Amino acid sequence: MSTYGSPLVAVTGAEGFIGSHLTEALVKSGARVRAMVLYNSFNSWGWLEKLPAEVLENVEIVLGDVRDPVSVREFMRGAQVVYHLAALIAIPYSYQAPHSYVQTNVIGTLNVLEAARDLGTPRVVHTSTSEVYGTARSVPIHETHPLQGQSPYSASKIGADKLVESYHLSFGLPVVTLRPFNTYGPRQSARAVIPTIISQIAARRPVVKIGSLAPTRDFNFVSDTADSFIAVGTASSDQVVGRTLNTGTGVEISVGALIETIADIMGKHVELEQEKQRLRPDASEVMRLVSDSSELRRLTGWHPRHDLRRGLEQTSAWFIDPGNLSHYKTGLYSV
């Protein structure tokens, strides 16, 4: 596999869950990838280290920080498309450290926008989240649904989304905002509900500890989410630039029903224990999320290739592997 001579694309947050899958998918699509990994003294590349060697040899890895404007500008130089995924995403931790969410999610996004404006970057794909909608007032949720900052995390992402919108309207910056609903799959952090459940079952914990069973979510398998990024990154400008587009399946399931499905797939009887620390404050909990992704489908032809059960089968098979499960501290609650 060689991407020599291919257009350069840049991915911030490439070491993370979705970022590593997107990086892999971009290389397999023929792109030449430059990947920003948050600087650390261990020289760790996060989940990128798990990519096949033939993929990784086509990735230029740069340690940097989206909070630093010089670091961002040099990273983006020469890129035809910038996929901006770097963010703090854990909702519970946003209650404890809201300033850090503003610095990374808002100021980090501002740095990407300013660099794109200075460098004349042909396209920036900004990552939003379905959490900006808050609890659904109408379903399925269309892009015109009101935005509700029900956690410091969602508020920081609303701020970032509005900055992106303003740079398009004020300066004509060629941006598109992709708004994924709940993504899941191999390599996801245990702060998310599906890895929390699967990892505890795979580790043979006698009781699975969980938060609220009532909220519903629209779960999208990670390779389908990666495909949606590439779809908006490669679509013609008049189709997507200046738009905000949802990506999801349009199917919702409660956390309680999700646990039953996972237990059935893994062939385990599950006893549950609700832990107070896993519950959001009442007014902060988002009770219902289900996507209307018709605009993304219409404009790009994207559609999910995995139904929930198939995706959960692939995800649980990955977690069952002892080498993969060893990356998770299944006895601890990850905020």
> What pLDDT score was predicted for residue 333?
74
70-95 per-position pLDDT tens digit: 999 999 999 999 999 999 999 999 99
Residue 50 pLDDT > 80: yes
> What pLDDT score was predicted for residue 247?
98
138 located within any domain: yes
Share of the chain above pLDDT 70, in %: 98
273 located within any domain: no
Residue 308 pLDDT > 80: yes
| Domains in the chain, number | 1
Average pLDDT of span 300-305: 97
What tokens appear for 300 in the block? 């790009």
21-35, 163-177, 274-288: range with lowest mean pLDDT: 274-288
Residue 3 pLDDT > 70: no
Separation between Cα atoms, residue 223 and residue 306, nearest integer Å: 9
Please name the helix (run of DSSP H) or strand (run of DSSP E) that holds residue 149, with its range, or none: none
242 located within any domain: yes
Average pLDDT of span 268-280: 82
Structural domain range at position 160? 8-188+220-250+287-306
Q: What is the helix, strand, coil percentage profile of the chain, to 5?
A: 45, 15, 40
218-236 per-position pLDDT tens digit: 999 999 999 999 999 999 9
Residue type present at position 30: G
Average pLDDT of span 279-305: 93
DSSP 87-110: ----HHHHHH-HHHHIIIIIIHHH
Residue 4 pLDDT > 70: no
263 located within any domain: no
Q: Helices (DSSP H) in the chain: which residue ranges?
A: 17-28, 53-56, 69-76, 91-96, 98-101, 108-119, 152-171, 193-202, 222-234, 237-240, 255-266, 294-300, 308-320, 322-325
> 207 pLDDT band (50/70/90 cuts)?
confident
324 located within any domain: no
333 located within any domain: no
150-171 per-position pLDDT tens digit: 999 999 999 999 999 999 999 9
> Is the CB of residue 15 less than 8 Å from the CB of residue 45?
yes
> What pLDDT score was predicted for residue 271?
86
Give the pTM: 0.95
> 57 pLDDT band (50/70/90 cuts)?
very high
Of 85, 17, 12, 11, nearest to 328 by C-alpha is: 17
209 located within any domain: no
> 320 pLDDT band (50/70/90 cuts)?
very high
> What pLDDT score was predicted for residue 182?
96
Of 317, 289, 27, 323, nearest to 185 by C-alpha is: 317
What tokens appear for 180 in the block? 């994924």
Separation between Cα atoms, residue 172 and residue 174, nearest integer Å: 6
237-272 per-position pLDDT tens digit: 999 999 999 999 999 999 999 999 999 999 998 888
- The CATH number that applies at residue 75 is 3.40.50.720
Share of the chain above pLDDT 90, in %: 85
212 located within any domain: no
Compute how many other C-beta atoms are within 10 angstroms of the C-beta atom of residue 283.
Answer: 9
Separation between Cα atoms, residue 90 and residue 151, nearest integer Å: 10
> 1 pLDDT band (50/70/90 cuts)?
low
